[in-house]
Amino acid sequence: MPRKKKANKEDKKTNPDVVGLNAQVLEQPITDTLEVNFMPYAMSVIVSRAIPEIDGFKPSHRKLLYTMYKMNLLTGARTKSANIVGQTMRLNPHGEGAIYETMVRLSKGYEALLTPFVDSKGSFGKIYSRDMAYAASRYTEAKLAPITAELFRDIDKETVDFADNYDGSMKEPVLLPTSFPNILVSANQGIAVGMSCMICGFNLTEVCETAIEFLLNPDCNLFDTLKAPDFSTGGELIFDRETMETIYKTGRGSFKLRAKWAYDKKLNIIEISEIPYTTTAEAIIDKVAELIKQNKIKEIADMRDETDLNGLKLAIDLKRGTDPEKLMLKLFKMTPLTDTFSCNFNILIAGMPRVMGIREILEEWSAWRIESIRRRVYFDLTKKKDKLHLLKGLGKILLDIDKAIKIIRNTDSESEVVPNLMIGFGIDDIQAEFVAEIKLRNINREYILKRLDEITELEKEISDLEDILKSRGRINKIIIAELKAVIKKYGMPRKTQIISEKEVEEYNAEDDIEDYPVTAFVSKHGYFKKITPLSLRMAAEQKFKEDDALSRSFETTNKAELLVFTDCFQVYKAKISDFEDTKASALGTYLPAKLEMDENENVIFVMDAGDYTGSLVFIYENGKAARVPLSSYYTKTNRKKLTGAYSQKIGLTAIIPFDSDLEIAVYTTDNRVLIFNTAALSPKVTRDTQGVSVMTLKQKHRVRFAAGADDTPIKNRAKYKAKKIPAAGSPLKQEDTGEEQLSLL
């Protein structure tokens, strides 16, 4: 398309419309506009603003931290934030507001980072609050946090390149020589032109341990050390292995975060103390208020923000009779109390944006860190070689100090001293300059001998440094040692709890469970059925498979929770309402299939959990018994499976539930019986405890059966009771076996 001819002076005189702004308008092909105007702008935003580099920082972060470092704020006292902002404008001319917002995000007070780099004082707002604003820069103070020493380690030893600032008045580092993979530790997000980045944070200790394992073995299993992302706001991460593997491999994917809560039974209040990193307290309150207004949530009387100096706290007052577990499941589904974090690990590598997985990031960081160490070693090597060179020149002077003094004394001009020393001792100008600058008081044999003693030590150090430069293994050892030092000095425990996706119960709005009495039947092969009283009255005889039989039955309600113990030392939880009502003539539901048990896992005991106030006694084959409170199996998160349900070190004989203490009869393979009271057993909080010995067994014999004494045919209980446990028990008498003697008459 031809360009429009520019108006000349004559045109302006004859045509008054061709003036001012109209005179500047030119027609231009869209392709030229994109190439000349849009592409440079897009590249500037991508490279110089929005996307972080391998050190984990965007240019704005780097300029701010370097300015604070040069202001001696790593070891010095705090200063007003306004001073820092003003000094930073020498490197970052984007205005006070943008610089101060950068400082706020890096600060400890704002709580956006797991490892904040700015030690702040004053009101810096909170990442979890939309309305809690930060104070003006003239009111707050800041300095560098101690961990920033790891960002600037050996920066003065040419470990990184420096470039001119925007006006060429000073130099600034292109990257910071971080001694740990900060790119994975600090959460980072940015929107460029045509691309963006969203990097979740990981725990500092786990990242450093992973980097160590990677340096030792590039094919290591990342999940062994890098469990999952970690966030400064805590909460719970719903972990799905397949999804997380995709994120680790490709750098893209998403996972769910949800809030942490606790229920105060006395006050009938739910307290939320940690929320997902991606939401705010105000957004949650607004959504709950909206749901209450729409009459979708009826269980809440009031909700308020009680956040104070101790941290975040959202309080929910419940109406009488509300089930807090059920309400939270509903809130998790319908409000930002559960939110999604979408990952996009887009990082600038040598000026080019790349989306990388964790292993690729570690490869790039390791290569970059190795180069930084080499540059540091080379810097030290050069300095030591220069010093050795001077000392060797000094060594030649030692041969004849008087000659050196004579040369200097007999030299007419000061400018001729160095050349005369060079000629007299066969040394170069640098060595001669060094000798010429020695003070008169130091021209003694003792001083020179001390300096010469350094030559041997220097030669050893130089040889060692040269060996480091040649050895990738030794450089790796240096990096590993520095990573271990970071772990020891700055490592902190995880803030975000990891819970398996399989353990998370989802709320289904369509589930309006009706509560009514039922009788539960469990077969020996693990078939379960629940029958209403009406159906039971119509047909009481239960049907089972040909080789199956009834194991246990109990009365309960449709809203009750089942605990299903298996022979793999696990217990599964299930709502009785999850099972359909059936009849006595039906076989029932096969529990291993319904509960998605592991392969070859079998049901050994099923019970009604009730309100988790009772206890269980586990009787083991070796004569030990363990009393475990039922509350040990209670979980707030509605997990569907618990491991370590009982001890796996000993064979289990029986599980006996009880609400109040009772007598238990224990039978052995050599036909002995012992009766003891559960009051003799101390409750153990640990589920997989081995308990205490209640019965001493003869060699090669074991406990074969145990039950409540009331459920056995024993008539003379006193004969089998023990005064103390452990005891050997007594031989079982014929009259206590429950078997009638056959008569010939």
User: Which residues are marked as active site?
Assistant: 139
Give the DSSP H/E element, type plus range, for residue 262: strand 260-264
Q: Encoding tokens for residue 141?
A: 């103070």
The contacts of residue 554 (CB under 8 Å, 6+ apart) are 519, 520, 607, 608
Q: Encoding tokens for residue 112?
A: 């956006």
Give the DSSP H/E element, type plus range, for residue 624: strand 624-629
Work out the number of other CB atoms within 10 angstroms of the CB of residue 123: 15
| 575 CB-side CA count, 13 A | 16
Strand partners, 198: 189, 344
CA end-to-end distance (rounded Å), the chain: 125
| CA distance readout (Å), 316 to 296, 464, 475 | 16, 65, 55
Say whether 74 sits in a helix, a strand or coil: coil
Give the DSSP H/E element, type plus range, for residue 534: helix 533-538
Q: From CA 448, how far away is CA 466, in angstroms rounded?
A: 27
Q: Encoding tokens for residue 380?
A: 């030290």
Encode 127-158: b = buried (16+ Cβ within 10 Å), e = exposed.
bbbeebebeebeebbbbbbebbbbbbbbbebe
591 phi and psi angles, rounded to 5 deg: -60, -45
Helices (H), 34-80: 39-45, 59-70
Strand partners, 625: 619, 692
The contacts of residue 694 (CB under 8 Å, 6+ apart) are 623, 624, 625, 666, 674, 676, 680, 681, 725, 726, 727
Q: Which of 147, 325, 111 is nearest to 231 (CA)?
A: 111
User: What is the DSSP pairing of strand 236-239 with strand 497-500?
Assistant: parallel
Handedness of CA 90, 92, 94, 95 (dihedral sign): negative
The contacts of residue 583 (CB under 8 Å, 6+ apart) are 531, 535, 539
Say whether 208 sits in a helix, a strand or coil: helix
DSSP string covering 367-396: HHHHHHHHHHHHHHHHHHHHHHHHHHHHHH
Query: In angstroms, how far is CA 480 from the centroid of its own chain?
Result: 21
Q: Encoding tokens for residue 400?
A: 């004849």
Burial category of 493 from C-beta neighbours within 10 Å (exposed 0-12, middle 13-18, buried 19 and up): exposed
Q: Which of 577, 646, 637 is nearest to 618 (CA)?
A: 646
How many H-runs (helices) and E-runs (strands) does the chain carry? 19, 33
